[in-house]
């Protein structure tokens, strides 16, 4: 959590500096880069609040808990990414057509360098902490920051181009950074859509199936479903038991399946087991 707060604070300062210089110099590449970096901060803040809210306990109004609040934050974040891509493209197009000059080139280049260095520092910090606490999302995020550093380098190349007498270099760099934002937007939209569509987690369903079939008395396992609600998984599976079992024995087997799945798969919160005896539903655990 400290890694997230520290790197967000650093990135906020970096992007606000870039934004100020972008408005002063009229560089659309710097503007696109600043918007993108601000979008990253916004994403982190959204995930942070979604995460905090998702830990709240279930209520009468929300009996399934608050896990989905993280997915709700994801929708807002995705919208912000697409808006920033739209602004970057529109401003780049406008500048290419109108031919508005880029001023304060030295200051602009300095801001781009700050963007490169700032993202490099954040990338290294996230990657170090990510390896220390073995957090896959943080390591992925570190790679993203390295890409961001490359985007700032793109803005720098554009400004160098302008200094060398090629004024279109700035809006072209703006378009390139816009494309990078679109790329990130597509990935983020796909992730959020998967969550909202209750996409099946194949790894979890395979593991749950293996655990259930290993319980003595279970003859068959079918219709295994696993959907993510924020950071937790809900598993639903149907098991077939041997016929002519006493109701108490059948109930014990069903409970054991539920306990096995819950204890062996730490990310699983809810397990619903449909128990059948040769086609007849007899118990619901
Ligand atoms: Zn980024």
pLDDT tens-digit readout, 59-110: 999 888 888 887 888 888 888 889 989 999 999 999 999 988 888 899 999 9
Helix H or strand E segment including 253 = helix 247-264
CA of 93 to the centre of ligand 1 (A): 22
**Could you tell me which of 91, 77, 106 has the C-alpha nearest to residue 29?**
91
CA of 102 to the centre of ligand 1 (A): 24
Are 227 and 189 in the same domain?
no
Are 232 and 167 in the same domain?
no
Helix H or strand E segment including 284 = strand 280-284
Q: Report residue 268 CA to chain centroid gap.
A: 19
Are 191 and 208 in the same domain?
no
CA of 119 to the centre of ligand 1 (A): 9
CA of 273 to the centre of ligand 1 (A): 42
CA of 83 to the centre of ligand 1 (A): 14
Residue 209: its pLDDT value, please?
Answer: 96
Residue 263: its pLDDT value, please?
Answer: 92
CA of 38 to the centre of ligand 1 (A): 9
Q: What CATH number should be reported for the domain holding residue 213?
A: 3.30.70.1350
Q: Report residue 60 CA to chain centroid gap.
A: 29
Cβ pair 108, 25 in contact under 8 A: yes
CA of 143 to the centre of ligand 1 (A): 9
**Which domain, by its residues, includes 247?**
202-284
- Dihedral angle computed from the Cα positions of residues 236, 270, 202 and 251, in that order, rounded to the nearest 10 degrees: -40
Domain-terminating residue out of 196, 228, 262: 196
- The stretches in the chain having pLDDT less than 70 are 135-137, 279-285
Residue 81: its pLDDT value, please?
Answer: 87
CA of 229 to the centre of ligand 1 (A): 25
Are 256 and 212 in the same domain?
yes
Domain-terminating residue out of 196, 227, 248: 196
Cβ pair 180, 36 in contact under 8 A: yes
Residue 284: its pLDDT value, please?
Answer: 55
CA of 34 to the centre of ligand 1 (A): 10
Are 129 and 257 in the same domain?
no
Are 148 and 59 in the same domain?
yes
CA of 271 to the centre of ligand 1 (A): 37
Domain-terminating residue out of 196, 215, 236: 196
């Amino acid at each position: 959590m400290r890694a997230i707060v520290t790197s967000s604070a650093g990135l906020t300062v970096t992007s606000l500096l870039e934004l100020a210089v972008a408005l002063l110099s009229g560089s659309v590449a710097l503007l696109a880069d600043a918007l993108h970096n601000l979008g990253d901060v916004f994403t982190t803040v959204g995930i942070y609040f979604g995460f905090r809210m998702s830990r709240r306990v279930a209520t009468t109004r929300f009996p399934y808990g608050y896990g989905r609040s993280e997915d709700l934050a994801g929708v807002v974040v995705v919208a912000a990414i697409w808006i920033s891509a739209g602004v970057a493209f529109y401003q780049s197009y406008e500048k290419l057509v109108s031919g508005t000059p880029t001023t304060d080139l030295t200051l602009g280049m300095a801001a781009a360098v700050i963007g490169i260095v700032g993202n490099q520092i954040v990338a290294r910090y996230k990657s170090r902490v990510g390896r220390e606490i073995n957090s896959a999302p943080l390591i992925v995020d570190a790679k993203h920051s390295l890409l961001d550093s490359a985007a700032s380098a793109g803005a720098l190349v554009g400004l160098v181009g302008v200094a060398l007498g090629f004024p279109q270099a700035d809006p072209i760099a703006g378009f390139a950074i816009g494309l990078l934002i679109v790329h990130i937007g597509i990935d983020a939209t796909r992730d959020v859509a998967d969550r909202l569509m209750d996409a099946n987690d194949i790894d979890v369903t395979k593991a749950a199936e293996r655990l259930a079939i290993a319980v003595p008395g279970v003859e068959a396992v079918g219709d295994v479903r696993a959907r993510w609600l924020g950071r937790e998984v809900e598993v639903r599976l149907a098991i077939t038991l041997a016929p002519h079992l006493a109701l108490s024995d059948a109930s014990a087997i069903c409970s054991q399946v539920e306990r096995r799945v819950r204890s062996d798969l730490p990310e699983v919160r809810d397990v619903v087991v449909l128990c059948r005896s040769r086609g007849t539903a007899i118990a619901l655990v």
